[in-house]
Structure 1
Amino acid sequence: MSEIRRHILVATAVDTGGVTAVTALIRSLAENSPQTVLVILSIDLSGDEEDLLITVADRVGLTTSIMPFDTGLLDGATLRSSHLSRAAYARLFLAECLPNEDRVIWLDADTVVLDDLAPLSQLDLGDNLVAAAPDLFIDEEDIVATGSRNGLYFNSGVMLINLALWRKEAISRSARVHMTAPDLVCEDQSVLNRLCAGRVLLLEHVWNFHAGRFAEYPASLRRARPKVLHFCGQRKPWLGPMPFGRVYLHYLPEDIRKATITTFSQEPLLRRMELAQRRILGLLGARPKHWKAGQLALALAAAERRLLRQRAEPASAAEESAQDRGAREPA
């Protein structure tokens, strides 16, 4: 049995714009799911960029390989979102990129792993093409366009993919046809929801927790401990402060972390003082929206503390501090 089969196989894809993000992903895998073997699909990375990723992986002891990706496969792919790159479509061709593997966990480059991936890797997929978490925040337009339904439409940032069935049913060939459609609202994610409709094993939201949407989750999900944080959307933790940014910064290599924090501190001082003043005046004036924002900020701070304190251990109610339990949230 090959070494790769004794481990948890994970794949991601990255172009120049995602190199910083993948350094954090690598370190999070090494710390929280060290049995992982990571395959990085290189979308026109330079030699220096590939060397950086391998160096980071070697420092933390994560088995990692970089595989050149044939970008010709992406010709004609629809791109509508300014924050998305062609690298997102690479996941559609994993069955061909990994011809000797039956399954793989796909992680977007803008994720960090906070728990062991073994339970996800070992799921019984049956006749399902993928296992993935429902997307609570998708527009109705794309649900309709893909023929899916509320609660069944999934986010493609974290998936367990049934590679054996993908090859048997030539799913990648169908994907090449669908990915050029002009009506793709969410690009590759729209393609995946069309192709996999009715054959998705739904995961709990903790496997794909949208960091930037913390305030929009129901209170019960805000209190859950994420297993994978996904920094999807236009806000990115390497570009500026955002929910769970402290957790993300923890996993960046030290030199990149320092440079990132320095960039954050360059926001004009007067602007930061103005925002703080508005919040204080809103609270003093007992404005409901400011009180709710304050409660959510406390809940977020408590969630970040729990993850930073317990990042390598399963969370339990007994481990939470009285301060965290006392942070009351709006429903």
Structure 2
Amino acid sequence: MATHLHTEAVQQSETLLNTLPHNDESVIHVAFGINHNYARGMGITLFSLLKHHPTTAFHIHIFTDTLADDDIDRLKQLAGNQPLAITLHLFNDSWLEKLPVVGRYPKSIYYRFLIPETVARYSDRVFYLDADTLVVGDYSPLFTLDISHVILCASNDTVRARQNQCPKLGLKQGNYFNSGFMLINIPRWLANDTTQKIIDLLVAQGANFGFPDQDALNILLENDTLILPDKYNFIYDIIANKVWHNFSTPNDTVMIHYTGKCKPWHAWSGGNLSHLYLDYYRLSPWSSLHLDKPRHHKEMKRFARIKFHKKEYAASLFWMINYIKHKFFK
């Protein structure tokens, strides 16, 4: 296998905590790829994962270029009595220079491509989770799933996404999976030089993709992916479901993925699934952090509507005035 720039990208791996039994082969490896803006979201996702698997031994791998001391301290509070290891993998971002910036997506979406080569020293399989997700059920059926015949396991994106992206990308199977949850077969990923193939495709065509990391994965792994039930990555867009939408998820839902621009840690989110997220938020080590306040006029307008729905009329008027000021007078 050729040696590429990205193989040397991880500069330091630091153990933040480790309460795992020695040589326990039942450990489940889970990875996140984040920038500093998503550290809190990752913390809530991890908190919810541990809450629903209280006896499972996890090794958590965090891939980032920086992590604040406060977030490290909060992560250490998650250990409790559960067997848990957390390893921080820090890297320089020189390997990202040639990769495209597309739309609102930061280059941190590409961090996940470093995961297989780094986690290979610990395990032959790893779960990847986006940091805007909430675990609400049991992932254990996947812990021993036979994935020897594929590189990747993932769930399909929405019907609309499949209808749009399959013809655009030339996908023949009718599947277009969401990359916010993946179970990766590491040896098969490495044997196929998958990371370098993704990077090459992104450099050549990524600027034309709507969802760069996800589109590249779907093109390259269309015939090497096992499509899992939607319950493992249930897609929910807060904005698309209006200001105060009561949305029912299927009873067997394992994870809710809050896609779209509005996240449940934004004060201008709303609806019962946002409130569900906040239930976990308030129990977590990140509970002392305030929700993000609106910065742009569209966010201010939505926040005014949220306040109105909550019958906080004075606050609603305040934010509507701010919306008008920022839209028409700035």
TM-score by length of 2: 0.72
Q: CA deviation at 1:18?
A: 0.2
Look up the match of 2:323: none
Look up the match of 2:18: none
Across the two proteins, how many residue pairs are aligned to each other?
Answer: 271
Look up the match of 2:170: 147
Determine if contact 2:266/2:291 at 8 Å carries over to the other structure: no
Q: CA deviation at 1:232?
A: 1.5
Look up the match of 1:295: none
Q: CA deviation at 1:117?
A: 2.1
1:138 matched to 2:158? no
Deviation digits for residues 32-64 of structure 1 (CA, Å, limit 9, x no counterpart): 123222111123334x25523433433574432
Q: CA deviation at 1:221?
A: 8.3
Structure 1 range deviating more: 268-277 or 202-211: 268-277
Q: CA deviation at 1:28?
A: 0.7
Determine if contact 1:212/1:242 at 8 Å carries over to the other structure: no
Deviation digits for residues 198-238 of structure 1 (CA, Å, limit 9, x no counterpart): 1111111110011326859xxx9843431011112111000
What stretches of structure 2 of length at least 5 have no aligned partner? 1-20, 312-330
The equivalences for 1:128-277 within 5 A come to 128-136=150-158, 137-138=160-161, 140-149=163-172, 151-180=174-203, 181=205, 182-212=207-237, 222-240=249-267, 241-243=269-271, 244-252=273-281, 254=283, 256-257=286-287, 259-260=289-290, 263=293, 271-272=305-306
d(CA) in 2 for partners of 1:98, 1:271: 45
Look up the match of 2:129: 107
d(CA) in 1 for partners of 2:76, 2:116: 27
Q: CA deviation at 1:93?
A: 2.4
Pair 190,2 (structure 1): closer, same or farther in 2 beyond 3 Å: farther
Determine if contact 2:44/2:280 at 8 Å carries over to the other structure: yes
Q: Give the letter for the 2:165 counterpart.
A: D
Determine if contact 1:135/1:151 at 8 Å carries over to the other structure: no
SS of structure 1 residue aligned to 2:89: strand
1:20 matched to 2:40? yes
Look up the match of 1:51: 72
Look up the match of 2:319: none
Q: CA deviation at 1:129?
A: 1.2
Determine if contact 1:142/1:186 at 8 Å carries over to the other structure: no
d(CA) in 2 for partners of 1:227, 1:71: 33
Look up the match of 1:5: 25
TM-score by length of 1: 0.71
Pair 2,151 (structure 1): closer, same or farther in 2 beyond 3 Å: farther
Determine if contact 1:16/1:49 at 8 Å carries over to the other structure: no
d(CA) in 2 for partners of 1:2, 1:73: 35
Pair 145,73 (structure 1): closer, same or farther in 2 beyond 3 Å: farther
Pair 59,262 (structure 1): closer, same or farther in 2 beyond 3 Å: farther
Pair 253,142 (structure 1): closer, same or farther in 2 beyond 3 Å: same
SS of structure 2 residue aligned to 1:65: strand
d(CA) in 1 for partners of 2:228, 2:177: 9
d(CA) in 1 for partners of 2:230, 2:208: 27
Look up the match of 1:326: none
1:118 matched to 2:118? no
d(CA) in 2 for partners of 1:252, 1:17: 16
Question: Which one has the bigger helix percentage?
Answer: 1
d(CA) in 2 for partners of 1:11, 1:4: 18
SS of structure 2 residue aligned to 1:19: helix
Structure 1 range deviating more: 71-80 or 21-30: 71-80
d(CA) in 1 for partners of 2:43, 2:95: 26
Determine if contact 1:57/1:63 at 8 Å carries over to the other structure: no
Q: Give the letter for the 2:197 counterpart.
A: S
Q: CA deviation at 1:259?
A: 4.2
Determine if contact 2:162/2:175 at 8 Å carries over to the other structure: no
Q: Give the letter for the 1:85 counterpart.
A: P
Q: Give the letter for the 1:80 counterpart.
A: V
Q: CA deviation at 1:189?
A: 0.4
What is the aligned-residue RMSD (CA, Å)?
A: 3.2
d(CA) in 2 for partners of 1:2, 1:148: 45
Q: Give the letter for the 2:187 counterpart.
A: A
Look up the match of 1:69: 91
Determine if contact 2:34/2:111 at 8 Å carries over to the other structure: no
Q: CA deviation at 1:124?
A: 1.3
Look up the match of 2:50: 30
d(CA) in 2 for partners of 1:21, 1:273: 23
d(CA) in 2 for partners of 1:98, 1:191: 21
SS of structure 2 residue aligned to 1:155: coil
